[in-house]
Structure 1
């Protein structure tokens, strides 16, 4: 029930009213005055009680939610979070795969790479290079031990239009999410810096921003990608320090940003002295459109990883840093974790230099493509967005469906999905749509049968379902 008896005295907190309200919330939650799971007053109700504007309350609620003190559910209201750690996020955006929970289900929440012989390739690489690999595994990794791997990654990236890139421009990371965190450490300055993201975006951006004590503003896009007019208005209003976006394969909508739109985005970023984080982790091997790293090399941090192309278990990520910023990126990584573990870096180097990594990437791409075809064959008649080779699709739901309801009923049918809500800010725009990732651990036939179950749901919205 709503806790309407809580009425803080904001006069005891100096500074802006919205920050005073955040501090009052923090103190009340930690003191137990507002216990976990208790519902807070609505924005308008609390604003009336405190004689402040609804916008002030809304901003305070949003900041407290980003801090992990509150949790908001569309259609239900705002609650004190069940768990309220002093720092950091309250929940993980990483999709856990509990074998007991997944028994008999098709998990389409996050892509799972198909088995194309990775284990045998890894074993062969370790066996073939074991004497050389283990000789130096007693000391810390260093700039010199990772230089050859960075050179190999330059060749790995030859299918993308990135501009002039050398090994000196590359910093290594433990996967794409770690790369995002490192970039924020490099770029964000001051108290509560502003980060811009797309209105539907990879949840890791906002979680990384929370860890960096940054505010997040989401921006509207269209069929070509992020809207330049919306971006420029946000730059004038918020003075953001970094823009996070995905140009090749927008997650979750699959939109591929046009070259003209990329050039407009690059020009705006340059005019407002804003850095760009370009997430390329989901992209397929080759692209003929210039990346933002090519169009604005002085300010673009281009992120990639092995997680969607070779193996998620290797945790190899990389950053193509802005021109002249490679050393800064590497030093930030070094201060965070010294360097990649030698067994991982040596294995990845062997896979890259032998050509095995490229071969595995091609086979993984084919495996995803076959399974994607199974999805499109069944659901292509609905409002489905997809790109050839991408390991996920975006399904806009027919009239009568809400995304959360559809995801819940799909789970009852043994299919796990992610609703649009999971990709939006708490108070952001969340259309009635779901993202369906390609489960490479299931056969095309299994995926086809799962999609037929979803098709039956799509044809029978809740208002038409028998009670």
Structure 2
């Protein structure tokens, strides 16, 4: 039974119906129609009363949960969050996992990769003590355009495995608070006009669309295949809508784990040059060396290479690097200065130490090795399924067997204590999502718990969907 007979009038809100539902939920919480702790109707019940598909309601509930408006409790249902009334109507949506300590023992979170501790905490402690020894007058001053040069110079070690980055200099780098902040910075630096157009892969990292929305840009999805964005589809979209920026993940497409071949890279860059588009090359998953040239090396006049340490060393440090196009480094740093005055001195001191000592690259290699063991466990258990993966990458793309719906499989997995991301979380507005899920590798739980979670998924896949969806 629900605690409320609340329903929504979606006709009062423009745009896709799932977003109209989110707006209606916000409104109901603000005006008191939905009280903290109230249990909401089930997805099927609300979908029936509104005359929409269950997928529309599920997506609306999912976004509202990510905003903090709602909270989902395994086995009990969806409730209005006790904290939700504090949130405003423009609260930003980020697809970051939230963890309830009371449920940690019962749930294995495979939504976003969790790093194993293979020495990072000790290394960070040493770096923090080293930074403390050097505290002086510089800690009393604002970070300037040139005061982080020592860290930018040290950060070049991070690219030492990229042979085609030999010509990159400290002047080409911009330091950011992680990859998402780097994407935001590039958009702020590049976009012009009241409603600029950005292109992303039809299935893409959700942070692209969140950053586009915050920059009042229109984002359009471009068809993808096994190698990522299709150049002909991009060219057709540019002829119709114009555009200023492309967001792509060529080495480790998120979420499909695809890789863009050399011919595709050249073709995509040709379209970008033809229509004078800037390119964001997202390399935050820092896939193992592929032997393929980066887009930044192939198009140094227009490509912004974005990476971070969140998937390889520490998500909590919030440290990212943007390699700007030739001659655009200072413009990028000026944009960062106007936005957040650059990174704080303790962070740059700590990271410079990790780069200079070689610990950063060593920790990255050790973390990838540990995650590689987790990947082998997953492949051994689910090897008979249709999987997209790369060695050294911390997620796998599972195309579900015929008859399964991604949202249904994710709900069934959640009921068994395993959290996944369904494909529709990566689809752009009004886009089509395949029946697939992304499975992230959980390095933050024991091997036994991770193995049990994968066995749970295997057991679900062996059952007929019809018997679960009656």
Alignment TM-score, normalising by the size of structure 2: 0.83
Change (3 A) 1:141 1:351: same
1:184 is displaced (CA, Å) by 0.7
- The superposition leaves residues 2-59 of structure 1 with CA deviations (integer Å, 9 ceiling, x where unpaired) of 748x689xxxxxxxx99xxx9xxx99x98999x89999xx9xx9xxxxxxxxxxxxxx
- The superposition leaves residues 117-144 of structure 1 with CA deviations (integer Å, 9 ceiling, x where unpaired) of 1111122223345322455322222233
Alignment counterpart, residue 151 of structure 2, candidates 127, 149, 152: 149
> Which residue number in structure 2 is paired with residue 74 of structure 1?
55
Alignment counterpart, residue 373 of structure 1, candidates 370, 376, 379: 376
2:254 & 2:304 partners in 1: Cα distance? Answer: 18
1:158 is displaced (CA, Å) by 2.0
Confirm whether residue 101 of structure 1 aligns to residue 103 of structure 2. yes
Deviates more, 1:405-414 or 1:279-288: 279-288
Written as runs of structure 1 = structure 2, the 5 A alignment for 1:334-413 is 334-413=337-416
2:27 & 2:388 partners in 1: Cα distance? Answer: 45
1:198 & 1:73 partners in 2: Cα distance? Answer: 25
> Which residue number in structure 2 is paired with residue 112 of structure 1?
114
1:309 is displaced (CA, Å) by 1.1
Alignment counterpart, residue 203 of structure 1, candidates 189, 200, 206: 206
1:210 is displaced (CA, Å) by 0.5
1:359 & 1:136 partners in 2: Cα distance? Answer: 29
Change (3 A) 1:272 1:443: same
> Which residue number in structure 2 is paired with residue 262 of structure 1?
265
Alignment counterpart, residue 420 of structure 2, candidates 413, 417, 442: 417
Written as runs of structure 1 = structure 2, the 5 A alignment for 1:224-263 is 224-263=227-266
Change (3 A) 1:372 1:135: farther
Confirm whether residue 292 of structure 1 aligns to residue 273 of structure 2. no
2:167 & 2:53 partners in 1: Cα distance? Answer: 45
> Which residue number in structure 1 is paired with residue 284 of structure 2?
281
Q: Which secondary structure state, in structure 2, belongs to the residue aligned with residue 218 of structure 1? A: strand
- The superposition leaves residues 369-414 of structure 1 with CA deviations (integer Å, 9 ceiling, x where unpaired) of 0111111110111111110000100001011211111011101111
Equivalent pair of 2:202/2:427 in contact (CA under 8 Å): yes
> Which residue number in structure 2 is paired with residue 65 of structure 1?
none
2:132 & 2:186 partners in 1: Cα distance? Answer: 34
> Which residue number in structure 1 is paired with residue 72 of structure 2?
none
Change (3 A) 1:200 1:163: farther
Deviates more, 1:396-405 or 1:441-450: 441-450
1:163 is displaced (CA, Å) by 6.2
Q: Which secondary structure state, in structure 1, belongs to the residue aligned with residue 402 of structure 2? A: coil
Change (3 A) 1:436 1:213: same
Change (3 A) 1:76 1:441: closer
What 5-or-longer segments of structure 1 have no aligned partner? 9-16, 46-70
> Which residue number in structure 1 is paired with residue 94 of structure 2?
92
Equivalent pair of 1:370/1:444 in contact (CA under 8 Å): no
Change (3 A) 1:135 1:98: farther
Alignment counterpart, residue 437 of structure 1, candidates 437, 440, 459: 440
> Which residue number in structure 2 is paired with residue 131 of structure 1?
133
Confirm whether residue 176 of structure 1 aligns to residue 179 of structure 2. yes
- The superposition leaves residues 167-217 of structure 1 with CA deviations (integer Å, 9 ceiling, x where unpaired) of 111011000000011111011111111111101100000000000111110
Written as runs of structure 1 = structure 2, the 5 A alignment for 1:47-86 is 74-76=55-57
Q: Which secondary structure state, in structure 1, belongs to the residue aligned with residue 276 of structure 2? A: coil
Equivalent pair of 2:249/2:282 in contact (CA under 8 Å): yes
C-alpha root-mean-square deviation of aligned residues, in Å? 3.3
Alignment counterpart, residue 464 of structure 2, candidates 432, 444, 461: 461
1:313 is displaced (CA, Å) by 1.0
2:97 & 2:400 partners in 1: Cα distance? Answer: 23
Change (3 A) 1:273 1:86: farther
Q: Which secondary structure state, in structure 2, belongs to the residue aligned with residue 301 of structure 1? A: strand
Alignment counterpart, residue 315 of structure 1, candidates 310, 318, 333: 318
Change (3 A) 1:148 1:328: same
- The superposition leaves residues 262-302 of structure 1 with CA deviations (integer Å, 9 ceiling, x where unpaired) of 11001110010001000000023533111110111111011
Equivalent pair of 1:407/1:418 in contact (CA under 8 Å): yes
Equivalent pair of 2:406/2:422 in contact (CA under 8 Å): yes
Change (3 A) 1:163 1:241: farther
Equivalent pair of 2:145/2:334 in contact (CA under 8 Å): no
1:370 & 1:326 partners in 2: Cα distance? Answer: 38
Change (3 A) 1:130 1:465: closer
Q: Which secondary structure state, in structure 1, belongs to the residue aligned with residue 354 of structure 2? A: helix
Change (3 A) 1:269 1:451: same
1:154 is displaced (CA, Å) by 1.7
